[in-house]
Amino acid sequence: MAQHAGPAPITCLIALTALLLQSFPTLQPATELFFADLTATEIWKLATCHLLHWSWDHFFWDVMVLVAAGTFCETRWPQRFHLVLATAGVLIPLAVMLSAPALLSYRGLSGIDSALFALAAGSLLIEEIQAARPLAAILVGVAVAAQFLKIGLESTAGQTLFVQDAPFVPVPLSHLSGAVIGCLVAASRCCR
């Protein structure tokens, strides 16, 4: 188990950048990903689109989870954290674009939040199993199952469970894609 003391600079930078973009909407068009306009010269918008939000409520929920899950993962498993950010940052908007062609654009950190939560829960589950702590493993396993249950409920209901005021079409596939990426990185144990 790799534990590192200290701050989570990447998580803080992401949260502060998202706050800046939410506070100054005139900056948002330069970083927004419109699927129809995605070209090789704008491929970087696959990453920046996560920093934009449809409302302050959307921003609040996304950044709250990012700070909690991101700080936990960045300080405990920094290499896995970097791998999840890089992988989820690119694959989530691509998955949304390919599976929901009617959507014009993508915004929000919730897919990455799902990836980080799954990384944390999956990594802890493996650690608890390896340490032969069955009660702790069951509790963490319930958290993993609850995440997928939440995604299933959102898919069925056609709305998010937490964000209520934002005028957007929820995309539970972004949460599912993130959760799968986080679980795969946790299960691969490819890095500390």
Query: Where exactly are the structural domains of the chain?
Result: 9-188
* Cβ–Cβ under 8 Å, residues 114 and 40: no
Q: To which CATH superfamily is domain 9-188 assigned?
A: Rhomboid-like (1.20.1540.10)
Q: What is the pLDDT of residue 191?
A: 65
Q: What is the pLDDT of residues 22-76, one digit of tens each?
A: 999 999 999 998 888 888 888 999 999 999 998 898 899 999 999 999 999 999 9
Any idea which residue has 């980080």 for tokens?
A: 116
> What average pLDDT does the chain have?
88
pLDDT, greater one: 101 or 19? 19
Q: What is the pLDDT of residue 75?
A: 96
pLDDT band at 172 (very low <50, low <70, confident <90, very high): confident
Question: To 5 degrees, how large is the angle CA 177–CA 182–CA 186?
Answer: 150
Q: What is the pLDDT of residue 77?
A: 94
DSSP 105: E
pLDDT band at 166 (very low <50, low <70, confident <90, very high): low
Q: 0.85 exceeded by the pTM?
A: yes
Output the six-digit token pair for 106: 């993508």
Has residue 5 got a pLDDT over 60?
Answer: no
Has residue 12 got a pLDDT over 70?
Answer: yes
DSSP string, 22-75: HH-GGGGGGT-EEGGG--GGGTTHHHHGGG--SSHHHHHHHHHHIIIIIHHHHH
Has residue 2 got a pLDDT over 60?
Answer: no
Q: What is the pLDDT of residue 1?
A: 46
